[in-house]
Structure 1
């Protein structure tokens, strides 16, 4: 059935995206940009390549903060990091510039109706229910859970290096750690005791396989599946997926079923505990202070118009888990890799951490003191500036609209443009990476990793630009109604883990070269063909 539908899809796409746009010129034709590499995919292969770092830097330096990118079948897309344009895209007109349909429908198939798979009023309702869970007061209650989980990893590393330095795959362990951190603090559930002899939980295996499977099935997931979602009844669509002539689709379906079944088990356990009262919740992992427990309690008390359905509560479980796992894991691995390259920075940070613990009577550094450690904070900020885990996001224009700019751009016919008419259906690449490394704001050393820049006043040009990010004039966690709701959660996780590991261990480079791939989420590899993230480093006891 699916094989029969594919030719019809291409005929439809060819008319809609190629012939129609060839016949009707748009204002985007005059925006400067690189020529398309192919008639089918334009420059998309270059923009989303696993090794796209050089291309992103090239187009930002060559064409400026608003660039035309040729897309699928010759369509005009935009690549944007102009701060005024970003403010309109992410904040002022955010409901005109929404996640594209392929992203929403593709992720809905994987995770269900959660905060990352909804739009408009439905998304606002989800965010309204979740926002209180990520308050500062709740983060203070999360800190002991983060410490308890992180000590497990520290103890494992202690055993591995007690007789001398050891090569350890840091990426493997940060991935396991990040999942257990969100498991206990977010879901009140344990996936991993972080011991070397542990048997992987089925959910952990499935989540690890999902990123690779998702990349391999990107056409089916983001192009074909949204088309099929418009066909017939849910039962008919399930029949099509069950009978898809693709092993990759079948593998992805098996992964999704594992994730769903674990989520249902967890959700039903929470429901029973809530019905039994606070004592039953306190007996669970997370002691009733985990995100899902608090969310479910708040949902029970909410007005009818604000309540989330059970399916929507269930959808938050996988949505939050995946949002918090790979990004945090990648950011932690990146910090440790950088500290291994800059030993003077590592030594200075270790001294700050040890001094803070000493001042607290050799107890764990409390929340307020930990988040205020200046050098630790500077290192986290600088890493998230220069190496954001997600380099870019895609938005689709839902109606014709005028997009203004901070600085005029020169069109291909020599005119200066202060704004641009953007047609409905235009895809816009929001470049987190280019915004975070804009030399006009960050200076000529914008591509250098310099934590010290955060210990001095920030450039006035940056302050005046009003980059619409929720974090430190950066776009790392976005801005507006679709900004990362858990960015404070993520920062606290990173600081707790780094404080415990660096206090005890020294991290050094191994002899194996490391290549960081851009992909959807930046990951380290020992060779260009590798699909599984790997970051071998030498770990030893710190003196």
Structure 2
């Protein structure tokens, strides 16, 4: 078996050398597109783009090269970083079947999450979304609002017991992560992960939280994975994976295994309840109104051609939990940090909440989502600090990418469109588009919630940014937009409504440093690997 591993490694090395040779002798239409120089002979700009301290590289590149530029991938390949609005419309709408998720990423996601929304393409993806869409409608969000409030009040009580009558500094990220997991558990799965009454841990939640840092710790493997996936059969990959002598890779496999085991356990428990009838479903945590109950019922009633097999239903569980936990909790953490740094904004939000409900009762859905200042703070934070900075696509065939404004090629020629070869990696610049000064003005890099309380720039409306949310790319757009963005918005506003009436948020003594990753996360300082964010909380009035 060891000799087989050595042979496979030698074959992979040989393949890498051949690909490198091909990359450096091939002339590409992208060679005329300006962009940063490669910083590695082997990896191109991979280490510049994909590292947790990469903020400077991304900002310098967009400022130096504009809304579309070339970057170097591994082994001499070229890619395009894009945030030009017209180009983005083609990528995620008009030509979305050409600009697909890369095959290797889909394969990676299948291994990590099963056959959920993150792991399917084309008609297969559309079929899954069709069954899931009713569970994310506004009407369903209204029905779930009481569940959100009840769960958030449990968090408030737990934190109040730690804060006491004076103040306390605490890891707010940890609490918000637990809350987000419990909210997707109750609202999404009809399952309770966490009582939120003490410093307890949940194995599923710990696995979800550890997944993104674990993935970034094996970035070299992810760089080589496209070639391994293309040339080595999955049966061989699965046979060799346990034998690889890399502790970080083994840890990632353990995390993926834990996620899968817990997802299957939740599915079979829910399936058994649904098979017993409505009364049994009503006795579960979500009272039969959770997303998975709706999906499983719809699947039972679907025609044979629309019905999803069990493995795909299980895949939705892991996908929903992963997609809804760190993204929302980390976005909320960023909001609370900004409020701690801007006490005037925090006071205005609190005053708006008190005016909406002077008695302190939970604010109904229609009133809560319409509160202008809280909405402005959420939109501005999601604009300036999207939880995900970029998304990758891969061209399935040669395609012409049109541009909103011409760019100057390396040869001096003005280009209004770019011929993009098949198999080119496209990075959709989410954060870059949200900070595009040509659309948002010279203050685009500043956090100004008030910008949402008056008319937005005409250039922004004329650009037709293809995002599904407020001229932003934060939740993407098109057929692969974030299906749960209304769920996330409601969660953030309920948490803010409850917590701001109970606590004043102040900066803590520990430094907050945000790391760039698949989902951005904070740590205490630049060097720590443990996600955490400490703020000081003071009680307000009666709890």
Give the structure-1-normalised TM-score.
0.96
Q: How does 1:234-245 map to 2 (within 5 A)?
A: 234=235, 236-245=236-245
| Equivalent in the alignment of 1:463 | 461
SS in 2 for 1:110: helix
Q: How does 1:222-261 map to 2 (within 5 A)?
A: 223-224=224-225, 227=228, 231-232=232-233, 234=235, 236-261=236-261
Task: State how far apart, in whole Å, the 1-side matches of 2:199 and 2:36 are.
Answer: 51
Does structure 1 conserve the Cα–Cα contact (< 8 Å) formed by 2:78 and 2:424? yes
Distance 1:476 1:414, change over 3 A: same
Does structure 2 conserve the Cα–Cα contact (< 8 Å) formed by 1:80 and 1:431? yes
2:5 to 2, 7, 19: 2
Task: State how far apart, in whole Å, the 1-side matches of 2:316 and 2:365 are.
Answer: 26
How far is 1:120 from its partner?
Answer: 1.5
Task: State how far apart, in whole Å, the 1-side matches of 2:283 and 2:421 are.
Answer: 55
Matched, 1:95 2:93: no
Task: State how far apart, in whole Å, the 1-side matches of 2:195 and 2:538 are.
Answer: 22
2:508 to 507, 510, 529: 510
How far is 1:541 from its partner?
Answer: 1.1
Distance 1:232 1:537, change over 3 A: closer
| Equivalent in the alignment of 1:216 | 217
1:180 to 179, 182, 193: 182
2:366 to 358, 365, 368: 368
SS in 2 for 1:419: strand
Q: How does 1:25-40 map to 2 (within 5 A)?
A: 25-40=27-42
SS in 2 for 1:507: strand
Task: State how far apart, in whole Å, the 1-side matches of 2:416 and 2:460 are.
Answer: 20
Deviates more, 1:239-248 or 1:404-413: 239-248
Q: How does 1:262-273 map to 2 (within 5 A)?
A: 262-273=262-273
| Equivalent in the alignment of 1:152 | 154
SS in 2 for 1:493: helix
Task: State how far apart, in whole Å, the 1-side matches of 2:456 and 2:16 are.
Answer: 47
Residues 506-531 of structure 1 deviation map (CA, whole Å, 9 limit, x = unaligned): 00001222111111111111121211
Structure 1: segments with no counterpart, 5+ residues: none
Distance 1:375 1:413, change over 3 A: same
SS in 1 for 2:361: coil
SS in 2 for 1:68: strand
How far is 1:161 from its partner?
Answer: 1.7
SS in 2 for 1:182: helix
Task: State how far apart, in whole Å, the 1-side matches of 2:487 and 2:416 are.
Answer: 38
Task: State how far apart, in whole Å, the 1-side matches of 2:76 and 2:128 are.
Answer: 36
Over the aligned positions, Cα root-mean-square deviation in angstroms equals 1.6
Matched, 1:201 2:202: yes
How far is 1:303 from its partner?
Answer: 1.2
SS in 2 for 1:32: coil
Task: State how far apart, in whole Å, the 1-side matches of 2:515 and 2:144 are.
Answer: 32
Distance 1:460 1:228, change over 3 A: closer
SS in 1 for 2:79: strand
Residues 328-357 of structure 1 deviation map (CA, whole Å, 9 limit, x = unaligned): 011000000000000000001001011112
How far is 1:25 from its partner?
Answer: 1.1
1:385 to 380, 383, 386: 383
Residues 232-270 of structure 1 deviation map (CA, whole Å, 9 limit, x = unaligned): 574x54332233333333322222222212111111111
Q: How does 1:305-344 map to 2 (within 5 A)?
A: 305-344=305-344
Q: How does 1:342-421 map to 2 (within 5 A)?
A: 342-358=342-358, 361-421=359-419
How far is 1:52 from its partner?
Answer: 1.6
Give the structure-2-normalised TM-score.
0.96
Q: How does 1:276-287 map to 2 (within 5 A)?
A: 276-287=276-287
Does structure 1 conserve the Cα–Cα contact (< 8 Å) formed by 2:327 and 2:519? yes
Task: State how far apart, in whole Å, the 2-side matches of 1:541 and 1:276 are.
Answer: 46
SS in 2 for 1:219: helix
Task: State how far apart, in whole Å, the 2-side matches of 1:143 and 1:184 are.
Answer: 11
Structure 2: segments with no counterpart, 5+ residues: none
Distance 1:225 1:74, change over 3 A: closer
| Equivalent in the alignment of 2:471 | 473
Task: State how far apart, in whole Å, the 1-side matches of 2:311 and 2:392 are.
Answer: 26
Task: State how far apart, in whole Å, the 1-side matches of 2:227 and 2:108 are.
Answer: 7
| Number of positions where the alignment pairs a residue of Structure 1 with one of Structure 2 | 538
Task: State how far apart, in whole Å, the 2-side matches of 1:266 and 1:238 are.
Answer: 25
Task: State how far apart, in whole Å, the 2-side matches of 1:114 and 1:322 are.
Answer: 11
| Equivalent in the alignment of 1:13 | 16
How far is 1:222 from its partner?
Answer: 5.8
1:58 to 60, 69, 74: 60
Does structure 2 conserve the Cα–Cα contact (< 8 Å) formed by 1:106 and 1:225? no
Does structure 2 conserve the Cα–Cα contact (< 8 Å) formed by 1:102 and 1:222? no
Distance 1:304 1:110, change over 3 A: same
How far is 1:480 from its partner?
Answer: 0.4
